[in-house]
Amino acid sequence: MDFLKKIFGEKVSISELIANGAVVVDVRTKDEFQRGHLRNAINIPLDRLPDNLKKLDRNKAIVTCCASGSRSATAKNYLRSKGFEQVYNGGSWISLRS
């Protein structure tokens, strides 16, 4: 069974992660973020992520989001490559809002 979890991934409730204190990192541009965002989300544009890793706690769950889910997927993969283990792609910030 663990083999299957590794292949297909374990289902995770993003809303549960957020309710339990996960940090929401919105990787859209500053202008996009200012037009609307999730309460308590922090804005680290994708192109600035490498310079801002120290702002993130490696021991906390992180949920990435953007406009469509594409940049947040890239951010999730980047953070995981840098040793962050609890990183999840939340997709669109608008879908997270609901």
Active site residues: 66
Q: Do residues 45 and 70 make contact, with C-beta atoms less than 8 angstroms apart? A: no
In the sheet that holds 23-26, the strands lie side by side as 42-43, 23-26, 62-66, 87-92
Which structure tokens are listed for 57? Answer: 């706690």
For the chain, how long is the longest CA-to-CA vector? 45
